[in-house]
C-alpha cells in the first residue's frame, strides 16, 4: 500500500512538473514576444510626408528653403527629435527612436528631395542632418 | 510592467483553460470515480477539454441575453459558473471511497521513477522543440491567425458575437482567444494568440498519450500499454514535430484544426473510457465534448463523423465475427453499453446543446448550402485525393511503415483472441480494435480516394488528420515488437533490434525538425512590426471608410492590418497571390491586382474610381516604382520596408 501511495505521489509530481514547464515556457515566450515587438517598433525611422505636403500646399510652394534636423535628447539615448524647417523656421517636429547613427544619417535622404521636387521642382531646398551626442556635434551633412 | 502583464496573462490562461473545467469535472464525475479510475494526468486533460467547452458555451449564452462580452462579464461568468459547480460537488456528491490499494487505482496513476523521468524528458523535449520554432515567429503575422484574430477582436471590441455571413468561420475558434485577451488586457498583437495555440497543441499530445493507453490496454498488458502511451508521446511530441499538423499549425494560426486535433483523440478517449468502466459520466463527457467540437471546427467534426461512421460499421462486423453471429447475445451487449450514453447527465447535455443550437447559436456551417459544398463527387484537382507517396511523406515514412506493421499485429491479436475463451472485457477489446483500425482506414480513404466517400474537400486538409492514428499504431507496434524481441531473443539482441527500430524513427523524425529550422528570415519580425506601425498610423489618420488597398504578396503580416481598422472582415482590400486571379471555372475580380500593377493605366484608374481606393500600402521597392513616378499619387508615409501612397 505504501508503494502505491508513493507511486501516486510520483504522478502528482508529473502534474506539478507539467504546470511548472508550462508556466516557464509561457513566461519565456511572452517576454520574448514583447521584446521582439518593442524592438520591431524601433530601429527604423518613419517619415510622415503628409506634414510636408500640407505645408507646401498651404504656402503655395512659396518658400525658399526646406530643411530637416535630427537631434538626440541629452539624457535619452537613441531618442531623437526630427524637425522640419521652412525658411529657417521650425514648422513641425516629431520624436523617434533610432537604433544607430547609420539609421539617422539616411533619414531624409533622396526620397524627401524627390517628394519636394514633385510638388515644386523650382524650390531650392536643403536637407540637413545634425547629429548631437554629449552636447557635441559629431556630424553635419547637407544634401543640395 | 511586464511582470504585471505576465501575471495577468497567467491568470487569464488559468481562468480560460483550467478553472471552469476543473469544477465541472468534479461535478460530472463522482468522487469515487475520480479517485479510483481517473489518474491525475487524465484529470488534467479532462479539465482542459471541459474548460474550453465551458467558456465557449458560457459566452454564447451571455451573448444571447444581450450581456456585453467584456473583461468583467467574462471573469464573472467563469467565476460564478465555477463556484456553482463547486457547490454542486460539495453538497451533492458523496465522498466515499475504498482504501488506496493497487487494485483500485488507474494504471496511469502508478508510475515508476524511470517512467516519470521518461515522461517528463519527452514532454520537455516536445515543448522545447515547439518553442524554438514558435519563438522565431512569435510576433503574430500569419494569414490564418490574422483572419481569426479579427473575429476574436470583434468580440472583444464590440462585446458581442459576430455574424460571420460565411460558413468558413465557427464561433468556437474565436471565443477562447477573446476571453483570454479581454481578461488579461494584453493586445492581440502580442505572443498571446500563439501561446494559447501552443497550449492547445501540448494538450493534444497528452490526449494522444491517454487514448493510446486506453486502446492498447485492451489487447496487451497494462505495462506494455503504459510503455506504448509513453512512446506515443515521444512519437507525436518529437518526430516530425514541426510539420503539419504540429508546430506549423501553431505558428500558422490554424486554430480550428488545432482544437479539433485535441478533441478528436479526447473524444475517442472518453468514448473508450465510458465503455471500459461502464461509466455514464465518461459517456456524458463524450457527449459534451462532441458538441464542443461541433461548435469549434467544421472539418474536424466532419472527419470525426466519417471516422465514427466507419467505426460503427467495422465494429458491428467485427462483433458479429467475434461473437459468431449470436444475435441475442450481441443485442444484450450492445444495449448494455449504448444505454450508458442515455443517462440523465448525457440527456441533460444533449438537451442543453440542442437548445443552444436551435434557439441560441447555430454554427454557421450547418446549412444545406455549406454541407453541399463539402459533400459530392470531387472535381477540382486539389480535392481528388493524395497519391500514396505523398501520404507517406505527410504521415512521416517511419510512422507510416510501423502503423502498417501495427495494423497486422492488431489483426493477428484479434484472430488469436477469437480462438480463445471470451472474457468480460471482450466487448471493449473489439471496440478498441475497431476504433484504431477504422480511424486509420477512414482517413486514409478520405485522403486518397475521396470520390468513394463522396467528399468534396481539399485533400491536403484531410491528410493532416492521418498523423494521429499512425502515431498511435506505430507506437503500439514498437512496444509490441520490443515485447516480441524480449521473448524470442537474448536481452542484448532484443535491445539492439529495438534501438534499430527507434533509431530509424529518430533519424526520419528529427530530420524534419532540423530541415524546418533552416531558412528563417532574421529581419522578419522587424518587417512585420513596420507593417503594423504603418497600419496604426493609417487607422489613426484617415477618415472612417476611406478605402485602403494593401499588398498580400510582398508585405509582411499584411493580413493583420484589418485588426487595426476593425471596419470589416474584408477591409482593407487586398492584392492577392496572382494565381488567385486565374480561375477557369469562376470569373474573379482583378481590380485589386490591377490597381497595384498598373495604377496609371485606364484599367487601373477605372478600378480606383469604382472601388474608391484612396491609399495603397506596399512593401518598399516592390511594385512601388509606378507609384513613385506617377503624378496621380503622393507618398505619404515611408519606413524601412513599408510605403503608403495616397491617391491625389
Q: Which residues of B touch A116 (CB under 8 A)?
A: none
Alpha-carbon gap, residue B511 to B519, rounded angstroms: 15
pLDDT band at B470 (very low <50, low <70, confident <90, very high): very high
CB B40 within 8 Å of CB B109: yes
Chain B: residue nearest A107 by CA? B639
Give the distance from CA B260 to its chain's centroid. 4
Q: Is A110 on the interface with B (CB under 8 A)?
A: no
B537 and A46 in contact by Cβ < 8 A?
yes
> How confident is the model over B357-386, as pLDDT tens digits?
999 988 878 777 767 666 667 666 667 778
What pLDDT does B495 receive? 82
Whether residues B127 and A23 touch (CB distance < 8 A) is answered with no
Inter-residue contact B209 to B108 (CB < 8 Å) = no
- Residue A7 has which C-alpha cell? 507511486
Instruction: Tell me which residue has cell 513599408.
Output: B642
Say if CB B630 and CB B595 are below 8 A apart: no
- Closest chain A residue by Cα to residue B538: A48
Residue B58, pLDDT above cutoff 90: yes
CB pair distance less than 8 Å for B530 and A115: no
Cross-strand pairs, B547: B613
Task: Give the ipTM of the model, two decimals please.
Answer: 0.89
Q: Is A138 on the interface with B (CB under 8 A)?
A: no
Angle (CA) B504-B506-B508 rounded to 5° is 65
A40, B529: Cβ pair inside 8 Å?
A: yes
Indicate the residue of B40, B100, B636 with minimum beta-carbon distance to A5: B100
**Confidence category of residue B504, pLDDT binned at 50, 70, 90:** confident
CB–CB contact B139 A33 (8 Å): yes
**Helix/strand/coil for A96:** strand
Give the side-chain half-sphere CA count within 13 A for A118: 20
CB contact under 8 A, B638 and A17: no
Q: What's the pLDDT tens digit per position in B241-275?
A: 777 778 888 888 899 999 999 999 999 999 999 99
**pLDDT value at residue B108:** 72
Look at residue B340 and tell me whether its pLDDT is greater than 90: yes
Residue B511, sorted as left (phi over 0), alpha (psi -120 to 50) or beta, turns out to be alpha
pLDDT higher than 50, residue A57: no
Confidence of residue B94 (pLDDT cuts 50, 70, 90): low
d(CA B552, CA B570): 13
Report the 10 Å Cβ neighbour count for B485: 18
Query: Could you give the CA distance from residue B183 to residue B73 in angstroms, rounded to a whole number?
Result: 9
Question: Residue B616: beta bridge partners?
Answer: B549, B645
When pLDDT is averaged across residues B578-591 and rounded to a whole number, the result is 82
Residues B388 and B448: beta-carbon distance below 8 Å: yes
Q: Which of A12, A45, A49 sits opposite B636 (nearest CB)?
A: A49
**Distances B69 to B9, B55, B567 between C-alpha atoms, Å:** 18, 12, 19
Grid coordinates belonging to B499: 534501438
A20, A27, A34, best to mutate vs chain B, most B CBs in 10 Å: A34
- Read off φ and ψ for residue A115, nearest 5 degrees: -65, -50
Q: Is the pTM of this model over 0.95?
A: no
Whether chain B has a CB inside 8 Å of the CB on A45: the answer is: yes
Q: Is it true that the peptide bond before B245 is cis, omega within 30 degrees of 0? A: yes
For residues A106 and B94, the model is more confident at B94
A5 vs B: CB within 8 A = yes
Most confident of A108-112, B101-105, B161-165, B307-311: B307-311
* Chain B residue closest in CA terms to A5: B100
Average pLDDT, chain B: 88
User: In degrees, to the nearest 5, what angle opens at C-alpha B400 toward C-alphas B398 and B402?
Assistant: 70
The C-alpha cell at B521 is: 528570415
Half-sphere exposure of A139 (CA within 13 A, CB side): 11
Amino acid at each position: 500500500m505504501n508503494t502505491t501511495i508513493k507511486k501516486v505521489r510520483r504522478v502528482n509530481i508529473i502534474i506539478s512538473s507539467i504546470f511548472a514547464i508550462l508556466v516557464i515556457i509561457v513566461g519565456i515566450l511572452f517576454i520574448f514576444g514583447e521584446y521582439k515587438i518593442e524592438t520591431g517598433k524601433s530601429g527604423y525611422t518613419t517619415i510622415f510626408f503628409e506634414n510636408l505636403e500640407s505645408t507646401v500646399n498651404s504656402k503655395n510652394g512659396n518658400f525658399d528653403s526646406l530643411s530637416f534636423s535630427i537631434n538626440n535628447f541629452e539624457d535619452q539615448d537613441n531618442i531623437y527629435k526630427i524637425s522640419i524647417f521652412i525658411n529657417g523656421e521650425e514648422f513641425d517636429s516629431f520624436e523617434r527612436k533610432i537604433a544607430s547613427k547609420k539609421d539617422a544619417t539616411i533619414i531624409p535622404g533622396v526620397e524627401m528631395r524627390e517628394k519636394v521636387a514633385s510638388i515644386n521642382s523650382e524650390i531650392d531646398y536643403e536637407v540637413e542632418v545634425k547629429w548631437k551626442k554629449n552636447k557635441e556635434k559629431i556630424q553635419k551633412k547637407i544634401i543640395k | 510592467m511586464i511582470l504585471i502583464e505576465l501575471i495577468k496573462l497567467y491568470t487569464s490562461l488559468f481562468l480560460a483553460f483550467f478553472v471552469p473545467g476543473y469544477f465541472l469535472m468534479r461535478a460530472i464525475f463522482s468522487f469515487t470515480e475520480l479517485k479510483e479510475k481517473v489518474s491525475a494526468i487524465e484529470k488534467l486533460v479532462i479539465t482542459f477539454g471541459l474548460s474550453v467547452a465551458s467558456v465557449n458555451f458560457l459566452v454564447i449564452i451571455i451573448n444571447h441575453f444581450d450581456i456585453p462580452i467584456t473583461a468583467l462579464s467574462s471573469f464573472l461568468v467563469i467565476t460564478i459558473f465555477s463556484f456553482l459547480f463547486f457547490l454542486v460537488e460539495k453538497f451533492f456528491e458523496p465522498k466515499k471511497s475504498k482504501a488506496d490499494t493497487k487494485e483500485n487505482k488507474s494504471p496511469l496513476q502508478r508510475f515508476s521513477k524511470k517512467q516519470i523521468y521518461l515522461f517528463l524528458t519527452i514532454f520537455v523535449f516536445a515543448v522545447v522543440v515547439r518553442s524554438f520554432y514558435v519563438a522565431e515567429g512569435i510576433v503574430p503575422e500569419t494569414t490564418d491567425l490574422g483572419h481569426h484574430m479579427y473575429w476574436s477582436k470583434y468580440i472583444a471590441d464590440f462585446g458581442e458575437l459576430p455574424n460571420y455571413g460565411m460558413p468558413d468561420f465557427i464561433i468556437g475558434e474565436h471565443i477562447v482567444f477573446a476571453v483570454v485577451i479581454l481578461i488579461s488586457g494584453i493586445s492581440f498583437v502580442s505572443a498571446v494568440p500563439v501561446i494559447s495555440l501552443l497550449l492547445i497543441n501540448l494538450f493534444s499530445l497528452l490526449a494522444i498519450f491517454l487514448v493510446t493507453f486506453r486502446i492498447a490496454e485492451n489487447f496487451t498488458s497494462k505495462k506494455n500499454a503504459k510503455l506504448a502511451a509513453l512512446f506515443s508521446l515521444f512519437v507525436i511530441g518529437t518526430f516530425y514535430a514541426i510539420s503539419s499538423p504540429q508546430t506549423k499549425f501553431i505558428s500558422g494560426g490554424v486554430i480550428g484544426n488545432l482544437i479539433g486535433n485535441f478533441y478528436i483523440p479526447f473524444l475517442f478517449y472518453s468514448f473508450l473510457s465510458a465503455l471500459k468502466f461502464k461509466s455514464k459520466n465518461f459517456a456524458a463527457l463524450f457527449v459534451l465534448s462532441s458538441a464542443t467540437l461541433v461548435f469549434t471546427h467544421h472539418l474536424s467534426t466532419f472527419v470525426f463523423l466519417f471516422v465514427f461512421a466507419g467505426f460503427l460499421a467495422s465494429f458491428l462486423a467485427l462483433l458479429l465475427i467475434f461473437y459468431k453471429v449470436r444475435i441475442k447475445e450481441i443485442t444484450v451487449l450492445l444495449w448494455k453499453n449504448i444505454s450508458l450514453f442515455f443517462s440523465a447527465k448525457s440527456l441533460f447535455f444533449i438537451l442543453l446543446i440542442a437548445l443552444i443550437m436551435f434557439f441560441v447559436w447555430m454554427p454557421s456551417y450547418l446549412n444545406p448550402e455549406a454541407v453541399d459544398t463539402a459533400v459530392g463527387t470531387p472535381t477540382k484537382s486539389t480535392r481528388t485525393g493524395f497519391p500514396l507517396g505523398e501520404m507517406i511523406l505527410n504521415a512521416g515514412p517511419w510512422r507510416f511503415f510501423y502503423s502498417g506493421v501495427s495494423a497486422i499485429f492488431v489483426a493477428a491479436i484479434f484472430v488469436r483472441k477469437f480462438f480463445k475463451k471470451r472474457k468480460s472485457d471482450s466487448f471493449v477489446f473489439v471496440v478498441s480494435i475497431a476504433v484504431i483500425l477504422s480511424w486509420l482506414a477512414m482517413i486514409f480513404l478520405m485522403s486518397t480516394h475521396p470520390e468513394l466517400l463522396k467528399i468534396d474537400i481539399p485533400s491536403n486538409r484531410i491528410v493532416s488528420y492521418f498523423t494521429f492514428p499512425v502515431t498511435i499504431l506505430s507506437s503500439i507496434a514498437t512496444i509490441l515488437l520490443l515485447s516480441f524481441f524480449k521473448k524470442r531473443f537474448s536481452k542484448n539482441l532484443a535491445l539492439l533490434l529495438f534501438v534499430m527500430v527507434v533509431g530509424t524513427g529518430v533519424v526520419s523524425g528529427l530530420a524534419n525538425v532540423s530541415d524546418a529550422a533552416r531558412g528563417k528570415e532574421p529581419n522578419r519580425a522587424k518587417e512585420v512590426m513596420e507593417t503594423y506601425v504603418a497600419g496604426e498610423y493609417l487607422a489613426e489618420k484617415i477618415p472612417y471608410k476611406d478605402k485602403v488597398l494593401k499588398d498580400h504578396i510582398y508585405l509582411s503580416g499584411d493580413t493583420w492590418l484589418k485588426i487595426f481598422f476593425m471596419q470589416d472582415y474584408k477591409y482593407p482590400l487586398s492584392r492577392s497571390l496572382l494565381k488567385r486571379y486565374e480561375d477557369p471555372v469562376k470569373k474573379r475580380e482583378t481590380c485589386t491586382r490591377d490597381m497595384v500593377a498598373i495604377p496609371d493605366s485606364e484599367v487601373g484608374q477605372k478600378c480606383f474610381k469604382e472601388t474608391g481606393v484612396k491609399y495603397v500600402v506596399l512593401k518598399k521597392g516592390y511594385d512601388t516604382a509606378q507609384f513613385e513616378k506617377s503624378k496621380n499619387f503622393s507618398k505619404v508615409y515611408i519606413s524601412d520596408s513599408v510605403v503608403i501612397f495616397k491617391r491625389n
